[in-house]
Amino acid sequence: MKSVLAILTVVVALVGFWYAACVPMNIHEAAMQAQRAGEEVTPAEAPERRHMGRISLALKNTGLWSTVFSQERPQLPAPHQVAQEFWKTTWGMIERGRAFSKRSLILHGWITLSATLLGFAFGTALGIVLAVSIVHSRAMDMSVMPWIIASQTVPILAIAPMIVVVLAALSVDDIVAKGVISMYLSFFPVVVGMVKGLRSPDAMQMDQMKTWNATRTETLWKLRLPSSTPYLFASLKVGVAASLIGAVVAELSLSSNGGLGARLLAGSYYGQTVQIWSALFAAAALAAVLVWAIGVAQKVTLKRMGFAQ
């Protein structure tokens, strides 16, 4: 109960800060509109206002504050505007039977989700395969690991369009191209976590396997892989969030197919800040659901495997 109160306090504080920030952020536009409507604004001339700071303009025009929360194209939309847009393009669309129309966040969320899951599956598989080969081969450890780390220092925003172009030239499906970009981000935490996990059995456990004359494959399946499960789940949580980011970034380059990334891009072309913000919230909600789902799977699996006593 106490923690609920604490959480609510933080949320209220954040929303309060957001509303407060709307005033200076939108005050220039509010003054412009008020002037056009023939109301009194200080200073009265637009060129003078242009050079004024946001806060001092806001302080001189306290009468305009009530209008900054309901603008058509605000620089910073108010929370309730974002919430209304979010609601209108999700549940509102379902109510009208148009859940999968072009304006629906459900459609775009689904497009992003499918690319995310595809890339997550690719990335997890690639990560595990790389980790297994790194643990079993010193040559792989020495030669591949530096490249894996280097791959993550390249900005994904720069490399994504190139991947799209190359894969398009090979006439690969767009969703696969998005999946590849997602994979590029999500395999990394899996490799790092799994290398640590596969090496987690102690010397005694490895000696024990040796006394039974177990092969490397048997040791992998019966000891290393089960031992690495807690590490795998920790990595998957990071990996799925990274995978979603990869999908959204990929959609900036492949915007014709829709998706939350395409919504962000369209919103910024047309100055639709409300649309941008609601797409951002949709992406955040999607990430939260994915991480939560993996958390549930983690809890159930580790409990069943006797790790969580």
Partner 1 sequence: MNNETIPQVDPPKAVVEARGLDLTFQTKDSPIQALKDVSLTIEQGDFVSFIGPSGCGKTTFLRCIAALEQPTGGNLTVNGMTPDEARRSRAYGYVFQAAGLYPWRTIAKNIKLPLEIMGYSRADQDERVKKVLQLVDLEGFGGKFPWQLSGGMQQRASIARALAFDADILLMDEPFGALDEIVRDHLNEQLLKLWERTNKTIAFVTHSIPEAVYLSTRIVVMSPRPGRITDVIESPLPKERPLDIRDTPEFLEVAHRVREGLRAGHAYDD
Point out which residues bind partner 1 (CB under 8 A). 204-205, 207-214, 218, 222-223, 226, 229, 304-307, 309
CB of residue 308 vs partner 1: minimum separation in angstroms?
10
Query: Which C-beta is closer to partner 1: that of 38 or that of 306?
Result: 306
Query: Which C-beta is closer to partner 1: that of 219 or that of 253?
Result: 219
Q: Rounded distance, CA 74 to CA 69, Å?
A: 8
Structural contact between residues 229 and 303, judged by C-beta atoms closer than 8 angstroms? no
Number of Cβ within 10 Å of residue 3's Cβ equals 7
Query: Which C-beta is closer to partner 1: that of 163 or that of 209?
Result: 209
Q: Collapsing DSSP states into helix, strand and coil, what is residue 96? A: coil
Please, what's the b/e burial string for 153-175 (b: 16 or more CB within 10 A of its CB; e: otherwise)?
Answer: eeebeeebeebbeebeeeeeebb
Question: Is the alpha carbon torsion for 161, 162, 164, 169 positive or negative?
Answer: positive
Q: Rounded distance, CA 157 to CA 197, Å?
A: 30
CB of residue 196 vs partner 1: minimum separation in angstroms?
18
CB of residue 302 vs partner 1: minimum separation in angstroms?
9
Query: Which C-beta is closer to partner 1: that of 126 or that of 214?
Result: 214
CB of residue 226 vs partner 1: minimum separation in angstroms?
5
Q: Rounded distance, CA 116 to CA 162, Å?
A: 19
Query: Which C-beta is closer to partner 1: that of 227 or that of 275?
Result: 227
- Phi/psi for 213 (5° steps) reads 55, 40
Q: Rounded distance, CA 18 to CA 277, Å?
A: 13
Structural contact between residues 188 and 242, judged by C-beta atoms closer than 8 angstroms? yes
Q: Rounded distance, CA 73 to CA 267, Å?
A: 11
CB of residue 209 vs partner 1: minimum separation in angstroms?
8
Query: Which C-beta is closer to partner 1: that of 47 or that of 306?
Result: 306
Query: Which C-beta is closer to partner 1: that of 160 or that of 223?
Result: 223
Query: Which C-beta is closer to partner 1: that of 14 or that of 305?
Result: 305
CB of residue 220 vs partner 1: minimum separation in angstroms?
12
What lies within 8 Å, CB to CB, of 35 at 6+ separation is 41, 44, 46
Structural contact between residues 112 and 241, judged by C-beta atoms closer than 8 angstroms? no
CB of residue 304 vs partner 1: minimum separation in angstroms?
8
CB of residue 230 vs partner 1: minimum separation in angstroms?
11
- Rg of the chain over Cα atoms, rounded to whole angstroms, equals 26
